[in-house]
Amino acid sequence: MNKAAVIKTAKRMKDPRSMQFQAEFLDDESDEILVEKSRQIGYSEYTALKFVRYSIKEGAKYDTYILSCDEDNAKQTLADCKKWADIYAIGAYELGKEIIEDDTIFQIRFATGRTIHVLSSNPNRLAGKRGNVVLDEFALHKDQQKLLKVSSACTQWGGQRVIISTHRGKKTIFYSLCQGAANGNPMGWSHYKITLEDAIDQGLLERINAKTGRNWTRESFIASKRKKCFCEADYLEEYMCIAQDQAGQLISWETVNNSVSKLASADARLEDIDGTVGLGVDVARKTDKHCYIGMQQVQDRYVCRLVYYHDDHSWVSRDRQLDRYTACDCVRLAKLDQTGIGDKYVEDAKLRRNGHKIRGVVFTPAVKEALATNVARLMESGKLLIPDHDLLKEHICAIERGYTDTGKLSYGADRTDSGHADLFWALALALDALTAKAAEGTWTKEALDGVSIGGGRGKYRHQRRIYTPTRR
């Protein structure tokens, strides 16, 4: 499509059926726009629409630079831009990407000569640029102060600056900007604050129900969102635009003590258990201890059966202990911490007699969040029962929830003489092993293609030792 055709199309282009807050945002031509919002209410999609509309208008002077918090978000933003171009039969003149110093820059160019660039969160990529700037999910960006400074320079000669985000704690630049905008607004922002409940009042549910085929009511939808949040504070921050304090104990001593039950034990013989047990193993080298926890589901509750700290730091001793546990018929699956030194340990364990029961788990921030919140939810609901084990209780209470410098949730504990909350992570892995579905990749002997299981002298040779299951 040539330039004249694009401009003609732009003139007859009609806005989609928008909710009030979306329509106001689309038409806002203020130099500085600040948006604090609930998750998943359609702001990112309409940000793409806003700047596609701008880019195809006759006389558009500026390119647009959208900074996303990571590459996945950048790809989604570009997809939204392309979608709107297709909906209005505009047609992107050019669509592609560029790699600069390991950073990926996505681009969509129109016949008007204007380009939308979707960048990583690196502030240096904005240096020397002029035009519209969008800082998407600003609270999740690592260097918010520098981004704010550089983006201000980009719009010095004209263009809009739009900052959009959900809150992520009270120690972010984004939180400070929102506080200033709500109290005198010295920076002169065009300020929007749209909660989930605001969006529902303006027609969000009608759109969700139409797209999903569901029949949500206001009450049932809000209840479902609350249920998926770990606590009320999460709901307030994620959906009601109320920033929360960054750090705090994940599970209180009161909750842990209420979870203690005589139905649970720390020293049950796994060989004698009738049923299914999930085994969790936190792998350690020397500073911390290697530990094992076994969990069993009894009706709708999860009951601890085993809490074991392995004092012997030798790998051979640890191998034998793991093999004794995985040899038990009740142990369905064992999940091991595969982070760092755990990588070789897990790979070796998969090659031994009970290797089909072994699964490694790499502790990324997302994985730790899923594991930790699962433990917390079950304890809060009274469905997780533990023995009166002082060290286990201490390690559970040691876990704190906070945020990284990039605004991502983090879960961890200070190192003490009793360890590094090792038993907590073993507990979390045991629960994950117990509840894992076969579709998630539970190993079977048949799946070990080309791997010989058992038998033969000196069959398994490893970097650290020789393991001979049939040694004479």
- CATH of residue 85: 3.40.50.300
Domain-located, residue 443: yes
Residues 130 and 277 in one domain: no
Residues 261 and 189 in one domain: no
Residues 183 and 91 in one domain: yes
Residues 188 and 262 in one domain: no
Residues 128 and 272 in one domain: no
Residues 48 and 167 in one domain: yes
Extract the tokens encoding 6: 């694009």
Crossing angle, helix 365-380 and helix 422-435, to 10 degrees? Answer: 80
CATH code (residue 432): 3.30.420.240
Contact assessment for residue 149 and residue 19, using Cβ atoms and an 8 Å cutoff: no
Domain-located, residue 239: no
Residues 40 and 103 in one domain: yes
Q: What pLDDT shows up at residue 444?
A: 43
Q: What pLDDT shows up at residue 458?
A: 34
Q: What pLDDT shows up at residue 92?
A: 53
Write 236-240 long-range contacts (CB < 8 A, 24+).
237/166, 237/167, 237/168, 237/169, 238/38, 238/39, 238/166, 239/38, 239/39, 239/195, 239/196, 239/197, 240/38, 240/195, 240/196, 240/197
- Single out the residue in 203, 218, 238 at which a domain terminates: 203
Domain-located, residue 235: no
320 CB-near residues (< 8 Å, 6+ apart): none
Domain-located, residue 177: yes
Number of domains in the chain: 2
- Single out the residue in 138, 170, 203 at which a domain terminates: 203
178 CB-near residues (< 8 Å, 6+ apart): 34, 36, 167, 191, 193, 243
Residues 379 and 445 in one domain: yes
Residues 263 and 403 in one domain: yes
Rounded to an integer, what distance in angstroms lies between the CA atom of residue 30 and that of residue 111? 26
Rounded to an integer, what distance in angstroms lies between the CA atom of residue 267 and that of residue 294? 10
CA angle 441, 442, 443 (to 5 degrees): 105
Residues 406 and 325 in one domain: yes
Contact assessment for residue 240 and residue 195, using Cβ atoms and an 8 Å cutoff: yes
Domain-located, residue 225: no
The SS3 assignment for 103 reads strand
Residues 373 and 269 in one domain: yes
Residue 392: name the closest of 295, 285, 270, 276 by CA: 295
Domain-located, residue 211: no
- Which residues share a beta bridge with 66? 118, 134
Write out the residue range of the structural domain in which residue 109 sits. 3-203
Extract the tokens encoding 24: 């106001």
- Single out the residue in 173, 188, 203 at which a domain terminates: 203
Residues 164 and 15 in one domain: yes
pLDDT tens by residue, the chain, 472 residues: 454 554 444 444 445 578 999 999 999 999 999 999 999 999 989 999 999 999 988 889 999 999 988 888 888 898 898 888 888 766 555 566 666 555 678 888 888 889 999 987 778 888 889 999 999 999 988 889 999 999 999 998 999 999 999 998 888 899 999 999 999 999 999 999 999 999 999 999 999 999 999 999 999 999 999 888 877 788 899 999 999 875 678 888 889 999 999 999 999 999 999 999 999 999 876 666 789 999 999 999 999 999 998 777 778 888 899 999 999 999 989 999 998 888 888 999 999 888 899 999 999 888 998 899 899 989 988 999 999 999 999 999 989 887 666 566 788 777 555 557 899 999 999 999 998 754 344 444 444 333 333 333 333 333 333 333 333 3
**Beta-carbon count within 10 A of 71 CB:** 14
Domain-located, residue 381: yes
Domain-located, residue 215: no
Indicate the pTM of the whole model: 0.61
